[in-house]
Structure 1
């Protein structure tokens, strides 16, 4: 099997000539995580099994779509390989021109673990007649009632497995927390690798920051002081006001143990559970520093699974491309980052705001440039896109259309866009840095008879 494998949906053309009478199928491989070896061995093993399965049932793999280290059960998780697979199934051909007569995979749960993805996959697979679905159990007819019922049964098993696993992991974390065991994951700032012993320099910084904040010093000034000293976080990032706030308001600084955004209490006494690590400050100092912040800024009111107690809804996006952009920079292992690009304040008049990747920090693009590139994608000639009606275009360009409606128009054409890193020192705007992933033709319900010019 030839072609370099890469995470995030790179298509590997595995057949370049005639299929020799074999059924041309495309392969899909996915792993949920690859955080240990980071070498894509899981998807490579799946593709070897897929190649053997295809040969066993008289098929040949003409293209492969890969999502390495991507969850299929989390809502909103990006799976670019899956999106590209659905797009090509809708077109009927791969980018290299091979006809697609079916899909082969090692198991149903590699393709879908949510009902929405099952519906999308079967709609794309059956958009052309005569296709098959192949796995190590045999060949399945996706158009038959039995084929659909088998897919639904597989989905039920996957959903049940996901719930059981999630509950098991949640219970495991709670039991560890109740015993005062430190958090798993990256080393917390202020402690050494054992997560129990204080880091001599970092612990002093945290203690001083807490004292300064209680005395009235701005947290941005504290973050600036840390930057001037050359301090970096445990994952190499530069300190900012948000990270400093979370560090000094984390219950661990006074020895308390929290779990999923709540302090753990001893049932018999109602007192907080103390962790097994050395504290940096006393509990009264921790309470005092927390009192200097609004509830929405506190460590306990942020993060995954934690309640947000501000009583306010999440603010609506203020820029057109917010939520549509993904980082196209390559990580050290060669895989694409795919982190979300978030809007933040810029430093020039031409770019008053920029979209930057918070995951790797190696990709940034001018906000107005990205918004303009997204508008061009909506109204320019792009393969596989049904153009919006003239009325929508006129309203957009006349200024009658608000931001929320514009974002809905963009969402009906573009699922996500990859932003390639720019060239350092380049003064010109390059709209081609924004590369779209497109929905199936006609999915938005627009008429192909509409004019397609810009």
Structure 2
């Protein structure tokens, strides 16, 4: 989260800087106490060094060690540093944080931060040890030393967590996350209704039934996942191919083997089907779909990392109406199309998960997104750095970097249903839901 602060005339005689705060986990009360504590320290540090905090940027419960974790507050801080101006608070000439590892714990983020901070002259970096000159060799070396310490600490912590999970799995204990579908809260006892659904789905799949048919049956019965989500083909596939269904233990995408018997280790929970049935149902899927070959920590037999194929995947939501008149709101999936050269792929609301009544050209969506991010007249609600626009439009920005830019600006994009028979591209169908609505509102008022 990011919040702008009005400073009145207090910044007239002080260096205007941004305060950044981040925690990896929130408190049990979910009260964001940790980041508030950091901002309070940053305010005090700024006063002690003739600076004033004019804008705050916050990433509460955001991990900075893993490369697949988004930090919207950090991304907006960098964008504002490149621009040299906070939307509603005026010029920025530096940053204050309680420690370097709040800002970066990976080399990539260190490089991004230093590039943004030094994109203009006379910037400062401030922590509890005082002011640091980011333009000098000594300032860079000090930052690199902090980075090395953060990387080493992160590796040790990750190794301890991996060892802890492995040890639990070797003891036959269930994982500590949300309860798996098919079992009670103790993760040991079968849930009568859910376990029967899983058993029938496995038997039906072995018999030739499609996963889509299973999804439709579960949806018609009003079945929801343990987190309340509606059934999907991916979720059902993962449930019925999990080694847990036959009692086997797995860790990080591999079955655990007893070194004495060379047989798979069995957990303490009740099994739903036999090992033979589990192997049969797994054989009906390609390797990349299996429970054992999915997830960020699991190896894949396909030797490729699964991920979104299309730029706006995960951002577009259906704006069609359900039968009861409510807005659908489901994520729209990307799918190839051979019927149009100008639209070789589309974003479609999937039947079963959503209303199934809305589809839109993929290139149309992405052209609309580019127009929203970089309007031709330069008068859009969000003003991104000019170098970012040039890299995007020249084709110098990679797929993942573009997705990070989109994620830092939009909460999602709602797709309105099209008009039957209309041939031209209707960009108004793509309705942005902006992040940082408070900042955008303040900017439009100013």
Q: TM-score, normalised by structure 1?
A: 0.77
| Post-superposition CA distance 1:156-200 (Å, at most 9, x none) | 100000000010000011000000010121110000011011111
Using the alignment, how far apart are the partners of 2:132 and 2:87 within structure 1?
A: 25
Could you tell which deviates more after superposition, 146-155 or 75-84?
75-84
2:132 equivalent among 127, 140, 144: 140
Shift of 1:379: 6.2
Shift of 1:415: 2.4
Shift of 1:365: 9.1
1:26 equivalent among 15, 18, 21: 18
Matched residue SS, 2:21: strand
Shift of 1:20: 4.7
**2:440 is matched with which residue?**
none
Matched residue SS, 2:405: strand
1:343 equivalent among 333, 351, 357: 333
Shift of 1:374: 2.3
1:345/1:406 CA distance change after superposition, 3 Å: farther
2:152 equivalent among 139, 160, 165: 160
**2:405 is matched with which residue?**
415
1:12-161 aligned within 5 A = 12-34=4-26, 36-161=28-153
Q: TM-score, normalised by structure 2?
A: 0.78
| Post-superposition CA distance 1:101-150 (Å, at most 9, x none) | 22110110011111121122122212222222111122222222221111
**1:433 is matched with which residue?**
432
1:355/1:408 CA distance change after superposition, 3 Å: farther
**1:242 is matched with which residue?**
234
**1:333 is matched with which residue?**
none
| 8 Å Cα contact 2:26-2:61 kept in structure 1 | yes
**2:369 is equivalent to residue 374 of structure 1:** yes
1:95/1:426 CA distance change after superposition, 3 Å: farther
Using the alignment, how far apart are the partners of 1:242 and 1:412 within structure 2?
A: 25
Matched residue SS, 1:119: helix
1:15/1:342 CA distance change after superposition, 3 Å: farther
Number of matched residues?
399
1:194-273 aligned within 5 A = 194-273=186-265
Using the alignment, how far apart are the partners of 2:35 and 2:45 within structure 1?
A: 15
Matched residue SS, 1:415: helix
**2:354 is equivalent to residue 353 of structure 1:** no
1:165-176 aligned within 5 A = 165-176=157-168
Q: Which runs of 5+ in 1 are unaligned?
A: 1-6, 328-340, 397-404, 438-454
RMSD: 3.7
Using the alignment, how far apart are the partners of 2:212 and 2:403 within structure 1?
A: 40
1:80/1:53 CA distance change after superposition, 3 Å: same
**1:285 is matched with which residue?**
277
Using the alignment, how far apart are the partners of 2:359 and 2:55 within structure 1?
A: 32
Q: Which runs of 5+ in 2 are unaligned?
A: 318-330, 420-425, 437-446
1:356/1:81 CA distance change after superposition, 3 Å: farther
